[in-house]
Amino acid sequence: MNTQHDKDRRTRQASILRLARKIHRTTGALLFAFFLFVSVTGLLLGWKKNSGGYIMAKSYTGQSTDLKDWLPVDSLYKNASKIFRDSISTTLSLELDRIDIRKDKGMVKFVFVDGFWGIQLDGSTGKLLHIEKRRSDFIEKVHDGSILDQYFNTGGIIKLIYTTVMGLALLVFTITGFWLWYGPKTMRKGR
């Protein structure tokens, strides 16, 4: 026999379920394009090391892993800059995003800000090991929204807002999705 209390409880549960469904549907509709970008770029980033060098180039090996045999970093940078000018572009900036020193591989990688280019040099000889188009860096910047900060030169605020919105949206999706699954079960048990 159903009491008034049971009917009130079921009415509240149904109301919460409707609200969860509305929030879930509205959030999904509003952020569909962003979820698409995050999911596709996330998949690509997950596969970057298994892309046959297309998304992320392999790290080549130099002659010596002993740093005392290496050329000074400024000499290596001059070599990388010359290679950049001769082989990639005479107009793009030589500004560096970062320098990756891979002691265990005897290699140093110069990653340039403009155009997502990287140059791998032998640390001891300064000779070119590989020129790479850093597609994984581009994909990562799309994935986390920092590509817009770079384009608009906003100093990271777009990435901060974007990751906050996407993180909160995922949290909302998780909670409302759980309730959309669990809520009907509790209502059926209450019958």
Is residue 97 pLDDT above 60, yes or no? yes
In angstroms, the CA 111 to CA 102 distance is 13
Q: Map out the domains of the chain as residue ranges.
A: 4-46+141-145+153-189, 58-133
In angstroms, the CA 99 to CA 88 distance is 18
Q: How many other β-carbons are positioned within 10 Å of the β-carbon of residue 116?
A: 17
Q: How confident is the model at residue 191 (pLDDT cuts 50, 70, 90)?
A: low
- Average pLDDT, whole number, for the chain? 94
DSSP per position, 94-146 = --EEEEEEEGGGTEEEEEESGGGEEEEEETTT--EEEEEE-HHHHHHHHHHSH
- Residue 125: exposure state from Cβ atoms within 10 A (0-12, 13-18, ≥19): middle
Phi, psi of 189, rounded to the nearest 5 degrees: -65, -30
58-133 fold: Nuclear Transport Factor 2; Chain: A, (3.10.450)
User: Average of pLDDT values for 4-22?
Assistant: 88
Report pTM: 0.84
Is residue 190 pLDDT above 80, yes or no? no
- Residue 119: exposure state from Cβ atoms within 10 A (0-12, 13-18, ≥19): buried
Range name among 13-22, 49-58, 120-129 with the lowest pLDDT average: 13-22
Are the C-beta atoms of residues 102 and 109 closer than 8 Å to each other? yes
Is residue 127 pLDDT above 80, yes or no? yes
Are the C-beta atoms of residues 102 and 108 closer than 8 Å to each other? yes
In angstroms, the CA 111 to CA 100 distance is 8
Q: Residues near 13 by Cβ (< 8 Å), separated by ≥ 6?
A: 183, 186, 187, 190
